[in-house]
Structure 1
Amino acid sequence: MPIRYKCRHCETEIGQLPLDSIDEHFLQKNDITVDEQELYIEHGASGDYTVQCICEECQSSLQKFPNYYALKKWIQ
């Protein structure tokens, strides 16, 4: 059951980590709020996690076109 990292804009899978290689204490100790966890971390039915983040290509586009930040999903 891995932790997957996926771009929230283009949905490209950025990478994954095996869940068994992560210390459980590390998973509980984080600096994000409950609202942010609900927004950016999805818990799958099989026990895996998907973290919504941003890939380098989308980050580059956001830097060039900062008005895209106002849109929840700007790639259709």
Structure 2
Amino acid sequence: MPIVYKCRHCGQEIGKLDQQMVDTSMLGWDQLSSEDKRDMISYEPNGDIQIKSICESCEASLGSHPHYHELDYFIQ
């Protein structure tokens, strides 16, 4: 059951955890609201857990262009 972190904007894989057992509280999942969990965590048909995050490139773009925060997707 790999945990795959992907950028919510560009889809780039940011990282992957391949451990069989993971303490989700160490990953900070217990700090997320129910709404954030629904928005950020998805369980894929192949058994992977996908976490939507933001990569450094998209974070830099948002920092340079703050009006992008108004858009659901800013990468075309």
Tell whether the structures are fold-level matches, with TM greater than 0.5: yes
Q: Deviations over 1:11-64 (max 9, x none)?
A: 000110014141366579611011111111111123211000000000001000
Q: Relative to structure 2, which stretch is displaced further, 49-58 or 26-35?
A: 26-35
Aligned residue for 1:20, secondary structure, equals coil
Q: Report percent identity of matched pairs.
A: 38
**TM-score when normalising by structure 1:** 0.86
5 Å-filtered alignment, 1:29-40, equals: 30-40=30-40
CA distance in 1, matches of 2:4, 2:69: 23
The count of residues paired between Structure 1 and Structure 2 equals 76
Compute the RMSD of aligned alpha carbons: 2.0
| 1:1-76 equivalent positions in 2, closer than 5 A | 1-23=1-23, 26=26, 30-76=30-76
8 Å Cα contact 2:24-2:30 kept in structure 1: no
Q: Secondary structure at the match of 2:51?
A: strand
**What secondary structure does 2:20 align onto?**
helix
* Unaligned residue ranges in structure 1 (runs of 5+): none
The structure 1 segments of at least 4 consecutive aligned residues displaced by more than 3 Å after TM superposition are 24-29
Q: List alignment gaps of at least 5 residues for structure 2.
A: none
Q: Rate the CA distance shift 1:62–1:29 in 2: closer, same or farther, 3 A.
A: closer
Q: Distance in 2 between matches of 1:32 and 1:70?
A: 22
Alpha-carbon distance in structure 2 between the residues aligned to 1:37 and 1:63? 24
Q: Match for 1:51: what amino acid?
A: I
